[in-house]
DNA sequence: ACCTGAACACCGTTCAAGT
DNA sequence: ACCTGAACACCGTTCAAGT
């Protein structure tokens, strides 16, 4: 958390340059995954020596921090913030949807987020909102902490787990890969794996990513609602 | 999936040897994380040249496959298997609990699992059971596929997200790290982050990991129950 | 069948030096 | 303040060769 202010003392021009480096690094991760990002490759894109980057970032971990920050900053928490007319559960759904919306354009970044939610400024803002809403829903502070941090990770996992997310990006190559994946599932014994072979299409590729993410959010919200009514510490009726 | 049978044609003695390599690799991952596992390090533990391992495994990815397989094999699916007297939801809970029980001793392996659930034999068995139970609960095959694969990943994320899971293993070193983490959260402004500062203890370290995991499973099962009653394709009442 | 040695093409990072 | 060059200690992996 001491690193929350890690870019606080920089000059405007310098911050811009650091921001440009992060932007380029994020583009590389989007295109080729986290493993595709190397200091040397990134330096090459700027036609600069690899060591030049070490003036802007202490090490690679700090560069990855910057990428995670950038994505978490895109989580729009302004929607219905503290609107007392809206139920806490509806507001929570809005927060989770905002997180999905921010991460979906950068699925490869998902793996970077869990360890950084409680150490980056925008991650802390997201966690604070989530915990506060759960407290409003009647969860004790420690239960809200456990449930809230998990909810955030579960939403990140929702993006990572989208069927077909591991397929290549492009048009024809993606179709080919999807077909191969589908065929490999259909090659399984329908006697041993009836459910999987029956759902090979849906497992290989997402017919509607929007519907998939909506299903996941619905499930998580229903889950919170379910245990809230069981475990709430106060007895005031839950607002709908 | 063609790799499901990747170790089928081996001799007993050879399989044993491969199994010993995987066992040692898993121990390294448990102790030092996935990044701590290198071919050269592993070879050193066997007092053998790094290249010796390449006779047993095509490449590092296949070694990681073996580690993932090993953990997924520990998922005990025999409990109440297809017991018609038990509701599908109770059985689903049992499956998710079995997955938690298998992964908890190897939290660092969690990151290896998502991409391998539908490509490893024990992962496919787990997915098949999950999808079949959801179908029994009234979900259409494609919805069951989306929800089921996500549920598995959500449970894996539950283990990864355990508060304090990133702390060092040992006794005193762990206490020190937990105290630092707690202090860094308490250093935040209580005006801006009231919920986080109030729950610093629970966020830094899990008071009761058992209770944490139970909460997560309760939430997921409640979520499935909640959307099942809304979206089920058949109208027969859900068995309790 | 099983293992070795040398070599290749990479990594992140340190350190001293430049401007 | 910002960047470079050389070097270090690592990687995974190929390939030809040993037994």
How does residue A6 score in pLDDT terms, banded at 50, 70 and 90? Answer: very low
Give mean pLDDT, residues B208-222.
Answer: 98
Give dist(CA B162, CA B6) in Å, integer. Answer: 33
Residue A1 to residue B188, Cβ atoms within 8 A: yes
- Cβ density class A82-119: b for 16+ within 10 Å, e for less: eeeebbbbebbbbbbbbbbebbbebbbbbbbbbbbbbb
Please report the pLDDT score of residue B97 as a whole number. 98
Please report the pLDDT score of residue B74 as a whole number. 98
A192 near B CB under 8 A: yes
Burial class of residue B67, CB neighbours in 10 A (0-12, 13-18, 19+)? buried
Using the predicted structure, report yes or no on whether residue B234 has a pLDDT greater than 60.
Answer: no
Chain A residues touching residue B187 (CB < 8 angstroms): 1-2
Ranking A7-21, A46-60, B208-222 by mean pLDDT, the lowest is A7-21
Looking at strand C, which nucleotides approach a protein CB closer than 7 A? 1-6, 10-16
For chain B, what's the residue count?
A: 240
Nearest nucleotide (C1') to alpha carbon of B11: C1
Give dist(CA A86, CA A81) in Å, integer. Answer: 9
Q: What is the DSSP letter of B139?
A: -
Nearest alpha-carbon partner for B189 in A72, A137, A1, A126: A1
Give dist(CA B218, CA A226) in Å, integer. Answer: 9
Here the tokens at position B182 are 């707690």
How does residue A4 score in pLDDT terms, banded at 50, 70 and 90? Answer: very low
Listed in sequence order, the residues at least 6 apart from B223 whose beta carbon sits closer than 8 Å to its beta carbon are A218, A219, A220, A221, A222, A223, A224, A226
Using the predicted structure, report yes or no on whether residue A232 has a pLDDT greater than 70.
Answer: no
C5 C1' to B49 CA distance, Å = 9
Quote the distance between the C-alpha of residue B154 and its chain's center: 9
Listed in sequence order, the residues at least 6 apart from B106 whose beta carbon sits closer than 8 Å to its beta carbon are B26, B29, B30, B71
Please report the pLDDT score of residue B5 as a whole number. 33
D5 C1' to A51 CA distance, Å = 10
Quote the distance between the C-alpha of residue A82 and its chain's center: 23
All protein residues with a CB under 7 A from any atom of strand C: A 37-41, 50-51, 54, 59-61; B 11, 13-14, 17, 43, 48-49, 51-52, 54-56
Please report the pLDDT score of residue B140 as a whole number. 97
A33 near B CB under 8 A: no
A233 near B CB under 8 A: no
CA distances from A13 to A9, A10, A17, A56 (A): 12, 8, 6, 12
Note the pTM of the prediction, 2 decimals. 0.92
Residue A198 to residue B114, Cβ atoms within 8 A: no
Nearest nucleotide (C1') to alpha carbon of B17: C2
Please report the pLDDT score of residue B167 as a whole number. 86
How does residue B14 score in pLDDT terms, banded at 50, 70 and 90? Answer: low
* pLDDT tens column, B52-101: 999 999 999 999 999 999 999 999 999 766 666 899 999 999 999 999 99
Please report the pLDDT score of residue B227 as a whole number. 97
3-state secondary structure B162-219: CCCCCCCCCHHHHHHHHHHHHHHHHCCCCCCCHHHHHCHHHHHCCCCHHHHHHHHHHH
Segments in chain A forming alpha helices (H): 12-32, 39-45, 53-56, 60-73, 88-103, 121-136, 141-160, 171-186, 194-198, 200-204, 209-231
């Amino acid at each position: 958390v001491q690193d929350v202010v890690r870019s606080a003392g920089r000059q405007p021009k310098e911050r811009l340059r650091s921001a440009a480096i992060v932007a380029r690094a994020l583009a590389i991760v989007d295109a080729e995954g986290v493993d595709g990002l190397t200091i040397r490759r990134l330096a090459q894109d700027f036609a600069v020596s690899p060591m030049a980057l070490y003036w802007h970032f202490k090490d690679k971990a700090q560069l990855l921090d910057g990428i995670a920050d950038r994505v978490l900053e895109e989580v729009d928490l302004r929607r219905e913030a503290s609107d007392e007319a809206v139920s806490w559960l509806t507001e929570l759904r809005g927060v989770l949807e905002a997180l999905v919306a921010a991460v979906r354009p950068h699925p490869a970044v998902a793996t970077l987020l869990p360890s950084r939610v409680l150490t980056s400024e925008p991650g802390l803002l997201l966690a604070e909102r989530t915990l506060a809403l759960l407290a409003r829903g009647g969860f004790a502070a420690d239960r809200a902490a456990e449930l809230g941090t998990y909810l955030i990770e579960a939403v990140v996992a929702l993006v990572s787990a989208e069927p077909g997310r591991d397929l290549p990006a492009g048009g024809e190559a993606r179709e080919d890969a999807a077909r191969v994946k589908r065929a490999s599932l259909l090659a399984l014994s329908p006697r041993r794996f009836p459910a999987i072979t029956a759902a090979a299409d849906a497992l290989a590729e997402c017919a509607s990513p929007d519907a998939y993410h909506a299903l996941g959010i619905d499930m998580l919200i229903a889950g919170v609602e379910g245990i809230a009514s069981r475990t709430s510490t106060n007895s005031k009726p839950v607002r709908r």
